[in-house]
Amino acid sequence: MTRVATGLLVLVLTAGPAGAQAPTASVPAWRPFGEFAFLLGSWSGTTSSGGRIGGRVVRFTMEMNGTVLVERGSTIFPAGDGKPEEAAEELGCVTYDREKRRYVATYYFSTGVSGLFDVEFAADGTVRMTSAALVNYEAGARSRITFTRRADGGLDTALDIAPPGRDFVAFQTSSLKKK
């Protein structure tokens, strides 16, 4: 028995570092809402919808002890071409569903429309939110909101609508810069 124990000890000692596991690179711990960090702050720029050009301001903040990402946005299309000035606002709240291990968002628009959105992240960091239905809008219609970080640090946003049984079409697009 002593010979076996001594043999094992010699084997372990002569194996040296080759027998040991190579150190692994430390992986940063996941932080809730870390995927949204690039959105935080205030943004402004231009927006277009149905051929009209206007201005847009958006602010993203973490609220409620860091458990809710809140977006507040305002859009103004000036009067022109026989059309009156139009203004719209939205309030978006993104939360993390710990049980389902995914983000969900609820958006409220000043038109009275609202929706519950599933949140996805593309490999390039784009944030895409898609609703299965909308409240106070045509039955069966869906919406998609996309936030894309540009190489210059800017932000492109898109609000798309899918009429019942049809594909998404652009409703409003914006090109924003951080204030």
pLDDT in tens, the chain (179 residues): 445 444 433 433 344 444 445 555 666 666 789 999 999 999 999 999 999 999 999 999 999 999 999 999 999 999 988 889 999 999 999 999 999 999 999 999 999 999 999 999 999 989 999 999 999 999 999 999 999 999 999 999 999 999 999 999 999 999 999 99
Residue 15: inside a domain, yes or no? no
Q: Which of 128, 122, 118, 93 is nearest to 107 (CA)?
A: 93
Q: What is the pTM of this model?
A: 0.81
- The residue behind tokens 């593309």 is 122
Residue 33: inside a domain, yes or no? no
Residue 16: inside a domain, yes or no? no
Residue 43: inside a domain, yes or no? yes
Residue 3: inside a domain, yes or no? no
Whole-angstrom CA distances from 164 to 105, 108, 111, 161 are 21, 20, 19, 10
Residue 110: inside a domain, yes or no? yes
Range of the domain at 172: 38-178
Residue 31: inside a domain, yes or no? no
Residue 25: inside a domain, yes or no? no
11 SS3 class: helix
Compute the radius of gyration of the chain from its Cα atoms: 25
Structural domains counted in the chain: 1
Q: Which of 70, 66, 112, 59 is nearest to 92 (CA)?
A: 70
